Structure 1
Amino acid sequence: MNKLTFSNLFFALILFANLGFAQEYKFNYQRNLEGITDGWHSIEIPVDAYSKLNSDFSDVRILGILANGDTVEAPYIIQVQSDSYDNKVIDFNLINEVKKSGSYYYTFELPNEQMVNSVSLSFNRSNFNWLVTLEGSQNQQEWFTILKKNRIVGIENNNTSYQYTTLEFKNVSYKYLRLKIPSSKNPRFNKATIEEKILTKGVYTSPMIESFKVVEHNERNETEVLLSLQKMEPISFIKLQIVDSMDYYRPVSVEYAIDSIKNNKGWQYLYRSLFTSTLSSLNKKGYNFPNQVLKHLRITIKNYDNEPLTFSKAKIHGNPHKLIARFTKPATYYLVYGNKRAYVPNYDITRFEDNIPKKNKQLIVGDEVFIEEEVKAEKEALFKDDIWLWAIMIFAVFILGWFSLKMLKN
């Protein structure tokens, strides 16, 4: 047996083993899809399905059974039905910067008939606390109040680094904007960003909260808020209701449970960080973050040397996920899921999202059915046990190495 024969044998074994890795479409659950009339349709993922999906949605498939019994797969993309912003930055000129009667004034000239609703400020100072006023005018003679005594603050110390310097208001259209900062010291104004933020509202759900518990850890000056939902659902917003009326700013970290174990103390959760921020009396709007499917939240507030805050409840909402799918063949289609070993599908349409219609008829998703028999795609695995596959690979490498050494000796 020559070297070429050994090489051919080796690569044949490699190919044989790789064919065995062809993934079998084996799922635990299916739902019938009804109402397919066009090429493109949307499918909203049912709330009850989230707890059975992989965290990356890698096990979601849309499979169809053709009239001849063959299986076809419909490609899809996943969309989160969240808010979207189209931020238009407005060009302007800083035409005036003066100090008068204990206040600093900054006048901005904008293009005519330009709508604005946001001004973000930057200063060459780390620590400040000012109650600013924003006014608008068409001629610099008559001024109209847009915001009055709106607090902006910057805090920089060993424990925290925090700034809140964005002014948000309803749409206005003025030729001139004037910012007033009451301050005994020069604010050292750096720059401003003036924008028109155009909001396209998303779709929201309000998951039911099953439990809300506050735990004080005085030994480490921390407060924990433990929150559990009735069902595992997508969450993208949280707001804590605080009873106290005093000013505060404290570091906050938010985590969600990714696993759990049960011991003699009950269920213990393993958490992963969701986001960190600052809990501040200046920003009572709550926190927006990327949609995350979860059931248990742990919110940790660092109190330092301050009295713990009093929390009464929490407000949360999320954005449902939907699939935009393309159907090209008449078949009986199912939404199937529940496969821990599934990979994320690779569809061509993910590279051409701009060509997908914006509006698509939503399909009716049927009740969940547990799959006792396997739903298989056209490609079937030659081997079901990975141990055999790896054994073949190792054996092939061993044989090739042994014969190579033998030839070298000869």
Structure 2
Amino acid sequence: MKLTVKTLACILLLLGSYAYGQIDQYSFKRELNGITDQWHKLTLPDVIFGKVLHDLSDIRIFGITAGNDTIEVPYLIQLTSEEILSKEINFKIVNTSHNEKGYYFTFEIPTDEPINQIKLDFKQKNFDWLLQLEGSQNQQEWFTIIEDYRILSINNELTDFQFTKISFQNSKYHFFRLLIGSKEKPNLTVAKISQNEVTDGTFRIYTIKKAKTNDHKKTKQTEIAVDLALPVSVSHITIGIRDTFDYYRPITIKYLTDSINTEQGWKYNYRTLTSGTLNSIEENEFRINNVILRNLIVLIHNNDNQPLSIGEIEVKGYVHELVARFTEPASYFLTYGNNNARKPQYDIDRFTNKIPEEITMLDLGDEQKIDKEELSVIEPLFKNKTWLWLIMATIILLLGWFSFNMIRKN
């Protein structure tokens, strides 16, 4: 009887050791310095991205209390991305006319609100027009807002591309007049007028270790291989073109996911990040969902055109900030590097409005590798959750057996 009780005590002690050893399930840690308040934030350095899971689900903040207890700190990951507030403005078309210059569309704005964007949609599927936008308070005196602004639509069996968004500085007029220089009457089906406020995001521009361009005559493609200095989280890719003539080329951007060493040599697996159109009308910046990568392949489909002269390539990503809540004194560490980790679920996800606007930034210590040799010999037993359930079931059976014997003796 005494031996069995001792066995139970040992089992419970081992379970406690399992809970305490959760930090040792991770590969790296960095000490957090400067904790003085309940809320703090820290910035993830670039070198971390090559050592975490693709969705950052293995990042944790652990604290070791004076009593040698382990506590887990809830956190949120926030990206310093752009913020766009768009307000659609009511209007009505009060006049349509034409002369030798082209076709006019006059919009009346019933409010005093400024506008800075007009989106147009036409029944025609293929066109290339230049337009001019003017503003007036009384339709007597007109002021030029933009001129020689190009809008374009191409629709065929190979592609479907349209650029009909007019962007300009904030303008406040009672009337806006659009002149489209076309011999054919533009069949305007939809127009949307809005006022957009854009708050710029904060980015890191990443170092490109190597960029190599190859023109493949057989496939009529230009391939650009881009190698970054280290794995990072990417959100924007800009392709610079030196040519000054008009161009329009389909483009596909891929990134390296993994590689396999076979008998025939290394095999590289790529996944498509995005596809679009490289063109001379707008800035060739391609936005993607945040992806951790190091190697890129850009494919430009030239068709029967001469290859473009590739200029500067820029790869950048948002700054990642962790906002964390600390509730008790302890020595805290940012830990990461656990292929078996699952994304944590914290209550603060549902109460983001309670997070203060002004939060002190923490200092992040140097990276320390967590020595796996310091783990208890019995820990591998509990890395498999099946063993843990078997131990729990054994405890329940033993307790039931003790209870049954005590009742029978009474």
Q: Same fold (TM over 0.5)?
A: yes
1:29 matched to 2:28? The reply is yes
Match of 2:255 in 1: 256
1:32 to 1:374, Cα distance in 2 relative to 1, 3 A:
farther
Provide the C-alpha distance between the structure 1 equivalents of 2:36 and 2:109, rounded to a whole number of angstroms.
Answer: 50
SS of corresponding position for 2:345 = coil
1:280 matched to 2:308? The reply is no
Match of 1:338 in 2: 337
Aligned 1:2-401 pairs, distance under 5 A: 26-262=25-261, 268-373=267-372, 383-385=382-384
Provide the C-alpha distance between the structure 1 equivalents of 2:270 and 2:264, rounded to a whole number of angstroms.
Answer: 17
Q: CA deviation at 1:353?
A: 2.1
Match of 2:396 in 1: none
1:202 to 1:267, Cα distance in 2 relative to 1, 3 A:
farther
Could you tell which deviates more after superposition, 256-265 or 69-78?
Answer: 256-265
1:334 to 1:389, Cα distance in 2 relative to 1, 3 A:
closer
SS of corresponding position for 1:383 = helix
Indicate if the aligned counterparts of 2:278 and 2:284 stay in contact, CA closer than 8 A.
no
Provide the C-alpha distance between the structure 1 equivalents of 2:209 and 2:262, rounded to a whole number of angstroms.
Answer: 22
Task: Could you tell me which runs of 5 or more consecutive residues in structure 2 were left unpaired when the two chains were aligned.
Answer: 1-14, 392-410
Q: CA deviation at 1:296?
A: 0.9
- Per-residue CA deviation, residues 94-153 of structure 1 (Å, 9 max, x unaligned), is 111112224111111114331211111111110010001111111111111111010000
Provide the C-alpha distance between the structure 1 equivalents of 2:119 and 2:83, rounded to a whole number of angstroms.
Answer: 19
Provide the C-alpha distance between the structure 2 equivalents of 1:297 and 1:98, rounded to a whole number of angstroms.
Answer: 50
Indicate if the aligned counterparts of 2:24 and 2:370 stay in contact, CA closer than 8 A.
no
One-letter identity of the residue aligned with 2:167 = E
1:332 to 1:387, Cα distance in 2 relative to 1, 3 A:
closer
Match of 1:3 in 2: none
State how many pairs are aligned. 371
SS of corresponding position for 2:184 = coil
- Per-residue CA deviation, residues 330-388 of structure 1 (Å, 9 max, x unaligned), is 11111000001100001111122233223321111111000015899xxx896324686
Task: Could you tell me which runs of 5 or more consecutive residues in structure 1 were left unpaired when the two chains were aligned.
Answer: 1-15, 393-410
TM value normalised by structure 2? 0.84
Indicate if the aligned counterparts of 1:112 and 1:174 stay in contact, CA closer than 8 A.
no
One-letter identity of the residue aligned with 2:85 = D
SS of corresponding position for 1:318 = strand
Q: CA deviation at 1:288?
A: 2.4
SS of corresponding position for 1:350 = helix
TM value normalised by structure 1? 0.84
Indicate if the aligned counterparts of 2:381 and 2:387 stay in contact, CA closer than 8 A.
no
Provide the C-alpha distance between the structure 2 equivalents of 1:115 and 1:289, rounded to a whole number of angstroms.
Answer: 31
Q: CA deviation at 1:31?
A: 0.4
One-letter identity of the residue aligned with 1:269 = Y
Indicate if the aligned counterparts of 1:80 and 1:291 stay in contact, CA closer than 8 A.
no
SS of corresponding position for 2:197 = strand
The alignment yields a C-alpha RMSD, in angstroms, of 2.6
Provide the C-alpha distance between the structure 2 equivalents of 1:191 and 1:177, rounded to a whole number of angstroms.
Answer: 16
One-letter identity of the residue aligned with 1:229 = L
Indicate if the aligned counterparts of 1:121 and 1:165 stay in contact, CA closer than 8 A.
yes
Q: CA deviation at 1:266?
A: 7.2
Provide the C-alpha distance between the structure 2 equivalents of 1:347 and 1:169, rounded to a whole number of angstroms.
Answer: 43
One-letter identity of the residue aligned with 1:338 = G
1:114 to 1:375, Cα distance in 2 relative to 1, 3 A:
farther
Provide the C-alpha distance between the structure 1 equivalents of 2:373 and 2:349, rounded to a whole number of angstroms.
Answer: 27
One-letter identity of the residue aligned with 2:156 = N
One-letter identity of the residue aligned with 1:357 = P
- Per-residue CA deviation, residues 19-59 of structure 1 (Å, 9 max, x unaligned), is 99x98861000001111122111111111111101001010
Q: CA deviation at 1:293?
A: 2.0
SS of corresponding position for 2:353 = helix
1:110 to 1:266, Cα distance in 2 relative to 1, 3 A:
farther
Provide the C-alpha distance between the structure 2 equivalents of 1:358 and 1:269, rounded to a whole number of angstroms.
Answer: 45
Indicate if the aligned counterparts of 1:238 and 1:317 stay in contact, CA closer than 8 A.
yes
Indicate if the aligned counterparts of 1:26 and 1:374 stay in contact, CA closer than 8 A.
no
Structure possessing the higher relative contact order (Cα contacts under 8 Å, 6 or more residues apart): 1
Provide the C-alpha distance between the structure 2 equivalents of 1:205 and 1:322, rounded to a whole number of angstroms.
Answer: 13
